[in-house]
Amino acid sequence: MQLTRRGFFKATALAFAGSMAFELSTQSEALAAPVDANWKLVNTEEYTNICCYCSGGCGSIVSVRDGEVINVEGDPDHPINEGCLCPKGAAMFQLRNVVDDETGEIIHNPERKTTPMVRRPGASDWEEISWEEAIEGIARRVKDTRDETFVETENGITVNYTPAIGSLGGSQQNSEEEYLILKMMRSLGVVAIDNQARV
């Protein structure tokens, strides 16, 4: 078929108009379509959270349906990771849920620890303890270590410090939390104080 230059432009314009009309009708159908009950986000709630693994403090979005976690992904609005998660953070979902080897179903992770655990001196096994016991045990050890190593004077000068305890803050702590940690450490006589953010 021979097309004049004018005929070519006319044919092109008609084809373009036809495709636009099809596109618009498809879009209006999509807008008018009822919500698909099987749509993967139906009946889900989203909660923002922080990755629990390293001190990077990446933000995540946890999707929940009927009280159960169904997805964890990076939070694109979080200033630290802007939606990314490293492989460790991306595997956070498996802290709570795993795929059952036999049935292929998603089940609660039977290995998940929900209480503090301790391996006492000389023991080969871990045992579960209460939060109260864990906190009291840590406080007792910090106080005992500080008291046993406290130096009041050196060369006749008052120094009041312990060389036996150090404090390394994490990047997940904000300025106010770091301020409180600093105050607490100084009150114990700790001088080896640093933060991951500085490093």
The residues that touch ligand SF4, with contacts defined as CB under 6 A, are: 51, 53-54, 56-58, 81, 85-86, 88-89
In angstroms, what is the minimal distance from the CB of 178 to ligand SF4?
18
Nearer to ligand SF4, 58 or 185 (CB): 58
The H-or-E segment that residue 168 falls in is strand 157-169
Nearer to ligand SF4, 85 or 185 (CB): 85
C-alpha–C-alpha distance, residues 196 and 1, integer Å: 74
In angstroms, what is the minimal distance from the CB of 78 to ligand SF4?
10
Nearer to ligand SF4, 54 or 142 (CB): 54
Among candidates 151, 149, 152, 153, which has minimal Cα distance to 141?
Answer: 149
**Exposed, middle or buried: residue 36 (CB in 10 Å: 0-12, 13-18, 19+)?**
exposed
In angstroms, what is the minimal distance from the CB of 120 to ligand SF4?
30
The answer to whether the CB of 182 falls within 8 A of the CB of 174 is no
CA 162 to mean position of chain CA atoms: 34
In angstroms, what is the minimal distance from the CB of 134 to ligand SF4?
23
In angstroms, what is the minimal distance from the CB of 115 to ligand SF4?
23
Name the residue number minimizing CB distance to ligand SF4: 89
Nearer to ligand SF4, 78 or 190 (CB): 78
The H-or-E segment that residue 177 falls in is helix 175-188
Nearer to ligand SF4, 57 or 189 (CB): 57
